[in-house]
Structure 1
Amino acid sequence: MPHGLHIRLPKNFVLEERLERYSAAIETNPYGWAGRWARDCAPVDGPAFKEVRLDLGCGRGSFTVEMARREPDVLFLGMDAEPICIAHAAQAGCESGLSNVLFIPGTGMRITEMFAPGELSCIYLNFPTPFPRKKESHKRLVNLERLMDYRRVLRDGGEVRLRTDSQPLFDFALTQLPIAGYEAVWSSLDARADRPDDPTSEYEVKLSAKGARVCSYIAVPGLEPEDPVQTAEMSLAAYIAEDLSAYDGYAPHGMEATVTNLRNRAAKNDGSWVGGVTP
């Protein structure tokens, strides 16, 4: 879930009761399923699912459920660290009547323990938290370490698909692909215009209404680097345009404070600021 986006709870919402009510769509212990997701999650009287895909940071699950509706022979797993998100996502999964969608509480930091090598065909990263400060950069879902983990569980030709309202995060993410041995096979600075039929998440709807534009890439692992070394600037402030007026209409979600700090710094420097300075 994007940093700072808060979910309004319905009146009389009791988290524990919701999690119990929709527990049929929740897997709370995913570590014993590695290598068995496609087979063991399939209907008893049906074949194994042809693919397994992970929506990492699924939020309320609208994207996950819609993808599952469109491709009934694929197992879609949604993961989120927020219990409230899992409760809403599981409700959406149960009410959809679909048998090919399941939700997992978690951050994905132990993804290599949840899935066998080559078990996933796609990992979706929809509007991940940017964590703009250098000291929190290790938490980003698009950094070198995470990309190296993803390649352990992706099958040959498997994809990582990023969507974000933050061009600074997007630009940083593009620096990580070659370091981790990935190739961007498609990218866009206006993904909704370029791929209008792609499902939306609830966060894309909310952020687009505020003026957000979606940046996106599809990347596939290539030859694995022997000893990858981080060479990119880790503060997202380094990826913000020097002309801060570009952010007058919309500041990327989770980076509003960063933009404000840079404006204040620019005001002290006769209206300009030096790029690459860690705020």
Structure 2
Amino acid sequence: MHARMPKNFVLDQRIERAANAIETGAAAYRGRWAEACHPLTEHGTERFERVHLDLGCGKGAYIAAMAARHPDTLFIGMDSEPVCVVHAAQLVLDRGLKNALVIPGDAARLDRIFALGELSSISINFPTPHPKRRNARLRVTTAEHLDGYRPLLKADGILALRTDSLPLYEFSLPQFKTIGWNVTCATHDDRAAHPDQPITEYEQRLTEQGATVHAVYARPAAQPATQEQLQAALELPQSLIDYLPEDLFAGEYIPYGMSYAIDNLRNRRHHLAARKDAYSDRI
């Protein structure tokens, strides 16, 4: 999801002001995030107990809330949108958090930033669904992407996907299973399943519009995906239209990125029903 650029937004100046919470040379910390980012103490250099990556961190509300709750964990937010990186970094600074920072980038370069087994957990909150078949490879929950995250997570690490998009959830769940990830929780109401999750402004806005949060929590497969597994995942339906519910009229909430497709399908059904009624009236 793309963030809007505010009017009169002087991005370079904002980046400079928030620079203390932005790491642009992230690759230099590969394999030593827990030690390098821990504040110095009277006992010398210490290390964080865990490192958590929030992939697609948006404006940083999630990592800020989690960092305040878990001071022994280093929370790293990552986003490809410069405006999101700046907002998230400024939030970290404003709240005085010493265990959170933001790096610019996306899932394509993770192995150059994190070493094998360096991450205790990864969160993916409300990612862009990319509903069209031709853009399926851009979804951060494809089997290929999941297989890329696998070696970076500890053996007992966990990846959490949270989304308002039922079609994205229905697409993603078999992606995890097809390549051997251990799904520990799959739910259509993550707020009920995990009530302690911080409620960000974005989630609150979605909830007020009628959304529920679908979620998948999974531990990485013990072995890399085979070519056969990756091919099997690719052979699953790739368009999110294929994962729409049978009754499009059951709920009024339309997930981000799906409004055009749903409106078209609803209009098509409406026209077919109208034709059927007109034909019935003539006989």
Fold shared per TM-score above 0.5: yes
How far apart, in 2, do the equivalents of 1:106 and 1:79 lie?
6
Once the two structures are overlaid, the 10-residue window that deviates more, 46-55 or 163-172, is: 46-55
Counterpart of 2:268 in structure 1 is: 265
Q: Which structure's residues are more often helix, by fraction?
A: 2
Counterpart of 1:277 in structure 2 is: none
Q: Using the aligned pairs only, state the percent identity.
A: 43
Counterpart of 1:64 in structure 2 is: 63
Counterpart of 1:78 in structure 2 is: 77
Counterpart of 2:54 in structure 1 is: 55
Give runs of ≥4 in structure 1 deviating > 3 Å. Answer: 267-271
Deviation of the 1:269 alpha carbon: 3.8
Deviation of the 1:187 alpha carbon: 1.8
Contact kept in structure 2, 1:191 and 1:214, CA below 8 Å: yes
How far apart, in 2, do the equivalents of 1:24 and 1:220 lie?
33
Task: Please say if 1:94 is aligned against 2:93.
Answer: yes
Aligned counterparts, 1:127-138, within 5 A: 127-138=126-137
Task: Please say if 1:28 is aligned against 2:32.
Answer: no
Contact kept in structure 2, 1:61 and 1:201, CA below 8 Å: no
Aligned counterparts, 1:108-123, within 5 A: 108-123=107-122
TM-score, normalising length: structure 2: 0.90
Counterpart of 1:103 in structure 2 is: 102
Task: Say which of 227, 238, 241 aligns to 1:237.
Answer: 241
Counterpart of 1:220 in structure 2 is: 219
1:186-236 CA-partner distances (Å, limit 9, x unpaired): 121111122222112332122112111100121001332332222311000
Cα RMSD of the aligned pairs, angstroms, is: 1.7
Deviation of the 1:180 alpha carbon: 2.1
Deviation of the 1:49 alpha carbon: 0.6
Contact kept in structure 1, 2:5 and 2:83, CA below 8 Å: no
Gaps of 5+ in 2: 275-283
Contact kept in structure 2, 1:75 and 1:101, CA below 8 Å: yes
Once the two structures are overlaid, the 10-residue window that deviates more, 221-230 or 66-75, is: 221-230
1:86-142 CA-partner distances (Å, limit 9, x unpaired): 111111001111111000111221111110010001110000000000000101011
1:5-33 CA-partner distances (Å, limit 9, x unpaired): x4472x64321111100100001121221
How far apart, in 2, do the equivalents of 1:237 and 1:105 lie?
31
How far apart, in 2, do the equivalents of 1:243 and 1:168 lie?
13
How far apart, in 2, do the equivalents of 1:198 and 1:60 lie?
17
Residue identity opposite 2:34 in structure 1: A
Contact kept in structure 2, 1:127 and 1:164, CA below 8 Å: yes
Counterpart of 2:254 in structure 1 is: 251
Deviation of the 1:61 alpha carbon: 0.2
Contact kept in structure 1, 2:107 and 2:145, CA below 8 Å: no
TM-score, normalising length: structure 1: 0.91
How far apart, in 2, do the equivalents of 1:255 and 1:201 lie?
22
Aligned counterparts, 1:142-157, within 5 A: 142-157=141-156
Contact kept in structure 2, 1:35 and 1:115, CA below 8 Å: yes
